[in-house]
Structure 1
Amino acid sequence: MLNLFTRPFRQPQPDLAGLGAGFIALPLTKGCTVPAGCFAVLANREGHTRRLSEGARAAILEGESAWCVHPGPYQCELLPFAAAPEIGLRVAFAIDTPDPRETQQRFDLYLASEGEAQVALGGFVASLEAALQRELAQGNLELPPCTTFEEWNAFRTGFNQLLYTRFGVMVDDCVPVDLGASRDMAALLSARLALQPVPAAALSPKQEAFDAAQEDAKALRRLFLELPGLMCGWRLAILPGDCAAFRHHQELLRRLDLVSLSVGTMPALELAAPGQMLPGAEQLRRARHSRRAAAALDEAWALLARMKLSDAAMVPLLLEEADRIVANLECDCAARREVAA
Structure 2
Amino acid sequence: MKAIFKWPERAAPADMSALGAAVIAMPVHSGCAVPAACVAVVIDSGGRTRRAQEGSRLQLAPGEAAYAFHPGPYTVDLVPFGAAPELGLRVGFAVDSADPRVAQQRFDLFLASEAHGPLALAHFCQAVEAALQRALAQGNLELPPCTSLTEWNAFRAGFNQLLYMRFGVTVEECVPVDLGESVDFAAVLMARTLEQAPVAQLSLSLPLPRALAAASDPLSDARALRRLFLELPCVMCALRLAVLPPGQLLFRRHQDLLRRLDLVSLAVSSMPALELSAPGVALAKHEQLRRIGHSRRAVAALDEAWALLARVQIAGAQQLDALFDDGARIVANLEYDLGERRMVATENQPA
TM-score band w.r.t. shorter chain: over 0.9
Check the 8 A contact 2:158/2:310 in 1, yes or no: yes
Contact kept, 8 Å, 1:212 with 1:283, in 2: the verdict is no
2:165–2:309 CA contact under 8 A, matched in 1 = yes
Quick one: distance in 2 between partners of 1:218 and 1:4? Answer: 47
In structure 2, the CA distance between the partners of 1:101 and 1:32, relative to structure 1 (3 Å rule), is same
Deviates more, 1:16-25 or 1:165-174: 16-25
Q: In the alignment, what sits opposite 2:244? A: 239
CA RMSD of aligned residues (A): 1.9
Using the alignment, how far apart are the partners of 1:216 and 1:66 within structure 2? 23
- Residue 266 of structure 2 is matched in structure 1 by 261
- Deviation string 1:241-277 (CA, Å, 9 cap, x unpaired) is 2111111110110000000000000011111111111
Secondary structure of the residue aligned to 1:5 is coil
Matches within 5 A, 1:138-287: 138-196=138-196, 198=198, 210-287=215-292
Gaps of 5+ in 2: 201-211, 347-351
**Contact preservation (8 Å) 1:224, 1:264:** yes
Q: After the TM superposition, which segments of 4 or more aligned residues of structure 1 sit over 3 Å from their partners?
A: 1-12, 195-200, 207-212
For normalisation by structure 1, the TM-score amounts to 0.94
Partner of 2:203: none
Shift in Å at residue 17 of structure 1?
3.4
Amino acid at match of 1:312: A
The CA deviation string for residues 122-171 of structure 1, in whole angstroms up to 9 with x for no partner, is: 11100000000000000000000011111111101100100010000111
Aligned equivalents of 1:305 and 1:260: distance in 2? 20
CA separation in 2, counterparts of 1:222 and 1:240? 31
1:325 to 319, 322, 330: 330
Question: How many residues are paired up?
Answer: 335
| CA distance in structure 1 between the aligned counterparts of 2:29 and 2:69, rounded to whole angstroms | 13
CA contact (8 A) 1:12 1:32 kept: no
Residues 1:106 and 2:106 are matched in the alignment: yes
Q: State the Cα deviation string for residues 70-107 of structure 1 (Å, max 9, x = none).
A: 11111110000000111000011111110001100000
Correspondence for 1:204 = none
In structure 1, C-alpha distance between the alignment counterparts of 2:175 and 2:229, rounded to whole Å: 36
Q: Whole-Å Cα distance in 1 between the matches of residues 2 and 120 of structure 2?
A: 44
Partners in 2 of 1:86 and 1:218 — Cα distance? Answer: 33
Alpha-carbon distance, 1:199 to partner: 8.7
Residue by residue, what CA displacement relative to the aligned partner does 1:41-66 show, whole Å, maximum 9, x if unpaired?
11112110011000011111110111
Q: Distance in 2 between matches of 1:4 and 1:71?
A: 45
| C-alpha separation in 2, matches of 1:170 and 1:321 | 25
CA distance in 2, matches of 1:301, 1:248: 18
* 1:35 corresponding residue in structure 2: 35
- 293, 305, 327: which one aligns with 2:310: 305
How far apart are 1:177 and its partner, in Å?
A: 0.4
1:23 aligns with 2:23: yes
SS at match of 1:220: helix
Aligned AA (1:151): E
Per the TM alignment, residue 314 of structure 1 is displaced from its structure 2 partner at its CA by 1.2
Change (3 A) 1:329 1:148: same
Q: Counterpart of 1:51?
A: 51
Equivalents in 2 of 1:208, 1:20: separation in Å? 30
Letter aligned with residue 307 of structure 2: A
CA distance in 2, matches of 1:63, 1:27: 14
1:111 is matched by which residue type in structure 2?
L
Distance 1:93 1:330 in 2: 34
Q: Hey, what's the Cα distance between the residues in 1 that align with 2:315 and 2:34?
A: 40
Q: CA deviation at 1:110?
A: 0.5
Aligned to 1:70: 70
Q: 2:116 is aligned with what amino acid? A: E
